[in-house]
Amino acid sequence: MINLKPQILKKLGEISDVKVSYYYPQKWSNLDKKPAISYYEMDNSVSSRADDEEYSSNIAIQVDVWAKSSSKCSKIAIEVNDKMEELDFERTLATDLYEQETKIYHKAMRFEKIEIL
């Protein structure tokens, strides 16, 4: 098993003018000033074994973009995709959502890769 969350946090932190957090943004009220990115690990399972030891892992990460405008949300989502590609992740899902109660635009994105240990 491998933990890629520190590398993901560092890479997403390279995107300017966003707040990056694990799981959910800490303050929803600040989205007018600074959009948010949240991420979490969805899967970290054995992909293959060799000599009775794990050789590679399936890694799946969910990244969510939260913003007060759809255009800002989409712009940040493109940057997220680029950063995750730099870590050799492949995008497997991207969908637009809108949180009616809070009037927040939300892009849910999923990325996967097989990591050789």
Position 24 pLDDT exceeds 90: no
Q: Tell me if 65 sits within 8 A of 20, measured CB to CB.
A: no
Higher pLDDT, 71 or 102: 71
| Mean local confidence (pLDDT), 49-76 | 95
- Averaged pLDDT score across all residues of the chain: 94
Can you give the CATH number for the domain in which 25 is found?
3.30.2000.10
Q: Tell me if 49 sits within 8 A of 92, measured CB to CB.
A: no
Distance CA 26, CA 41 (A): 18
The residue range of the domain holding 71 is 5-116
**94 exposure class (CB count in 10 Å sphere: 0-12, 13-18, 19+):** middle
Which pLDDT score is estimated for 31?
75
What pTM does this model have? Answer: 0.92
For residue 19 the two structure tokens come to 């707040």
Residue 15 one-letter amino acid = I
Domain count, the chain: 1
Which pLDDT score is estimated for 102?
86
